[in-house]
Amino acid sequence: MTPTSRSILALLVLITCTHCVQKDPVSTGPEVLLSINVPEDYHRTQEGYADRSFAYITDETGTVIDAGELLDGTLLKLSGNYDHANRPMHAHIVRVYYRFQGSHRSERYTVDSYSDIEPDTWDLERRPLPNRQELNLKFINTGGEIEQNEHFVDSNTYGSGSESDGDNGTYFRTILVDEFPEDVYIAFKRKNESGVRYFWQRVSGPESQEINSLDLPLIEKPVSISVPPAAGGYVAAYGYKADAPAQEKEVFYHHLEGGANSVSPFVPAGVFDYFRNYCRIGIFGKGFYGITEIGPLRTDYQLPELDLMVHLTDVKNLEFEAGRPFDGYDISARYLERGPDRDQLLVWSVRGTYAAKINPPFPELPDLITEALPFVESHLPDLELDEATVFTYQDFPVRRTFFRESVKFGGLSPADHGRRESYTVTE
């Protein structure tokens, strides 16, 4: 064979092979169905605490497609060969949280289920760091004890307070802050004053302050808020500043006595831009009914008819039906076991978008969860219905987390909370 013939033959072989390669199907492997970004320091590392979480996805029957543990500073990818375009796919995050106080141990297990999701990337919200900084406040001239007064409000979650009768009353408050700046709101009623004094300040760093109570602004008149006659429950409001929407500050919290139809809280004018109004009312013979709204401060509550049907005969047979459309729902069931040395709480919540009738299956647990957290599997049959909530969103600029994990979930999370109606069903 001549050199020219060999060259022509080699060229034909190359063309033929190239053609064959082009016709071969490309093997891509399982599709990534859900990615979850876990920030650094997501789980607690402080002495006396422990925290772990897991995530997995299932089909419409609860059968597991893929699972993995959520580890700090990693991206967990859940994959599988699954026709998500034509079959529902659900995501679940399981968390265990231990806290040790002396010889007593508290355990909280949660299973958060998100119904009918699309392939996406979720970003978990960074949790508060255990090394909180201290803000120390000293209020003088309080006029005596203030913490026992019904109008006392201390809106900051972490910290402790103490009182002294010296110098016409002194109140010491230590606030533990995750991250500065921090908004601080404290209100109280001085003895022999008809109004309520309040302290409001945006604090930029750890410091100590002494505040003369007589120099604080005075709220002279309460707000009258009407509620339907109640067998019990409470009314509360939480304030927000538009430039710090993540900071929620309690403005008032009033228990409702049997037959009560109004409350008269003292609310500062010109401090908060929006309020989260919450009213939980015990209706005689019908259990509890609640409404949450974000917007201006509510002065009355009109309750629509109870037209939500929820049944939980066992953990694998939950039915939910609403008489009118809504944007999202949240159903929870729980089991609590108390002991002299240990308390254990298991909560299952399922969240999703509107459907006239919902029957979400409880997800089967992957082996890595049942092996690490046997308490969860063993007490699933003991779950009892706790609460069912439906949501209707409104266009307010205050961002509230719909899902506890602060994940991206279509247009729902993070979401602007509007009207929220919840029903605690009593069998």
Tokens representing residue 68 in the block? 């993995």
Helix, strand, coil in percent for the chain, rounding step 5? 10, 50, 45
C-alpha to C-alpha distance for 249 and 410, rounded to whole angstroms? 28
Q: How confident is the model at residue 331 (pLDDT cuts 50, 70, 90)?
A: confident
Span 36-54, pLDDT tens digits:
988 887 776 555 566 889 9
CA gap 46, 64 in Å, rounded: 33
pLDDT tens per residue, range 121-169: 887 766 555 566 788 889 999 887 777 677 888 877 665 666 666 557 8
Q: In 44-116, where do the E strands start and end?
A: 49-58, 64-70, 75-80, 90-101, 104-114
Measured between its terminal Cα atoms, the distance across the chain in Å is: 93
* pTM metric for this prediction: 0.61
Condensed to tens digits (0 to 9), the pLDDT of residues 347-406 reads: 888 887 766 667 776 778 999 999 998 988 888 888 887 766 666 554 333 323 333 222
The pairing of strands 208-212 and 133-140 is: parallel
Give the C-alpha separation, 220 to 176, whole Å: 30
**Vertex 126: Cα angle to 409 and 71 (nearest 5):** 85
- 235/227 Cα distance (integer angstroms): 9
Nearest to 272 by CA among 390, 396, 174: 396
Q: Return the bridge partners of 38, or none.
A: none
199 pLDDT above the threshold of 80: yes
What pLDDT, on the 0 to 100 scale, is given for residue 356? 63
In percent, the amount of the chain with pLDDT more than 70 equals 66
β-sheet bridge partners, residue 150: none
